[in-house]
Structure formats: C-alpha cells, structure tokens
Amino acid sequence: MGRNIIKVSPAETAGKGQEHNYFWTIFNQKCPQCRKGELFKVKNPYRLKTLFDMYDNCPVCGQRTEIEPGFYYGTSYVSYALTVAFSASTFVAWWVLIGLSTEDNRIFWWLGINGAFMVLLQPYLMRLSRVMWLSFFVKYDDNWKLQSKEKQECSDQRYLTR
C-alpha cells in the first residue's frame, strides 16, 4: 500500500513551528512577546539619526514598545553593565594573551584599544540595552495570537458601546 507523500518547500515552512530562544531574540532585536516583530524601524544601529526610532507597537503582535513615559531611563543601567562586562572580559583576555607588566606600557595599549571598541560598539550596545530592558518586563507568550485577537475584540466592543 502506498503512502501519500506531500512535498513542502523550505520557503513554505520557514518560520512555522520554529520559536527562537531568548538570546537570539535579544541579539537580533526582536519583540520579546512574539519573538518575530522588529522593534526598530531601521535595522542598522550605525545610522545615528535613526538610532532610537522604534515602532510604537510591534508590527506582528501589537505589543507596546514604550510601556510608560520615561520607560527607557532604566536602560542606562543595562548599558553600563554591558560596557563593564565587555571591558572586564577584554582586560582578562589581554592579560592572558599578552600579559601585563609595570616595565612597559601594555596597559595603555589595552586602554586605547578598549576605548576604541567602546566607541564603535556604543550604538549597538545602546539598542541592545533597550531590547534587554523591554524583555525584563515583557515576557514571551506562546498564545500571543489569541490574546491579540481578544484585545482587538475588547477594544472593538468599547468603541461600539460609546
């Protein structure tokens, strides 16, 4: 007896049933609720004029990106922690690979190179800290599609009763 085999192209299955993990979501700057929608209008963080241009709501699930006025003031703490962690890790790597000495100026080379990296990575780290801060307060939800429909129906009913 023969089986019916249905061939499905990879393009048809792309994004179906594949949920990304937390770290992928953070580093690719996706919505923490649905893990699919873009948070920033321009993907390139090095276009400095549009560095902080975010959608008001996630284009996929409708999650608000600014939960309350002044919500992103807390990102300064996250950004500080990221820069300290990066600097500490480069310091340890420098110490292990090159070494430190009071006899020469290797520490000043590390300071200069680390400072240059900090300046170059700052736009990305600022966006990364925004995404991390938002993900502290908005959790991933498997049922975001159902809940977004319920929210839409609820807001439609409020609009009709006015």
What are 59-69's pLDDT values in tens digits?
A: 988 888 888 88
DSSP state of 57: B
Does residue 96 register a pLDDT over 60? yes
Residue 14 has what pLDDT? 44
Amino acid 147: pLDDT: 64
Sequence-distant (≥ 6) Cβ neighbours of residue 128 within 8 angstroms: 26, 27, 29, 82
- Sequence-distant (6+) residues with CB within 8 A of 104 are none
User: Where in the sequence is the domain holding 46, given as residue range(s)?
Assistant: 31-143
In a domain, 19, yes or no: no
**Cα–Cα distance, 125 to 127 (Å, whole number):** 5
User: What is the domain count for the chain?
Assistant: 1
Task: Please report whether residue 152 resides in a domain.
Answer: no
Q: Tell me what the mean pLDDT of segment 7-34 comes to.
A: 69
In a domain, 86, yes or no: yes
For the chain, state the CA radius of gyration: 22
The pLDDT value given to residue 2? 52
Domain presence at residue 50: yes
- The confidence score (pLDDT) of residue 160 equals 47
What is the model's pLDDT at position 148? 56
Question: Helix (H, G, I), strand (E, B), or coil: what is residue 83?
Answer: helix
| 153 and 62 Cβ atoms separated by less than 8 Å | no
Does residue 65 sit within a domain? yes
* 138 DSSP assignment: S
Across-strand partners of 159?
A: none
| pLDDT over 60 (residue 46) | yes
